[in-house]
C-alpha cells in the first residue's frame, strides 16, 4: 500500500506518516516497506488512468510502499487514535 493511501486512510499527512517511520526505522525491515524507484513510480502512475490529476505530481521524494506487515507495524507505532482504530 502506498504511503499516500495510508496517510489518507489514517487521516494524517504523508509527511507525518513518514516521520513516524523514520523515528522507528529499526521496526521496518525491507520486507515490511521499501521505496519505489523512479521507473516503478512512473509505471505505477501510468496504470492508474482514473487517479486524481495532480496527485503525487509534486512530490519531493519517491513514495514508500508498505506490505501488510508494514501497515500493521505502522498502526502499532502510531500515536494517532485513527491508526489504532484500524487494528
Q: Is the pLDDT of residue 50 over 50?
A: no
The C-alpha cell that represents 37 in the structure block? 524507484
Per-residue pLDDT tens digits for 2-34 = 999 999 988 899 999 999 999 999 999 999 999
> What is the number of domains present in the chain?
1
The predicted model scores a pTM of: 0.74
Question: CB neighbours (10 Å) of residue 16?
Answer: 14
Q: Work out the angle between the directed axes of helices 14-23 and 68-77 (0-180°, nearest 10).
A: 90
Domain extent at residue 43: 3-85
Amino acid at each position: 500500500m502506498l504511503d499516500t493511501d495510508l496517510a489518507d486512510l489514517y487521516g494524517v499527512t504523508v509527511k507525518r506518516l513518514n516521520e513516524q517511520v523514520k523515528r522507528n526505522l529499526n521496526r521496518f525491515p525491507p520486507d515490511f516497506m521499501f521505496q519505489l524507484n523512479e521507473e516503478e513510480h512512473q509505471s505505477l502512475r501510468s496504470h492508474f488512468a482514473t487517479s486524481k490529476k495532480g496527485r503525487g505530481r509534486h512530490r519531493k521524494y519517491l513514495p514508500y510502499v508498505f506490505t501488510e506487515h508494514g501497515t500493521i507495524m505502522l498502526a502499532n507505532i502510531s500515536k494517532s487514535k485513527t491508526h489504532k482504530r484500524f487494528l
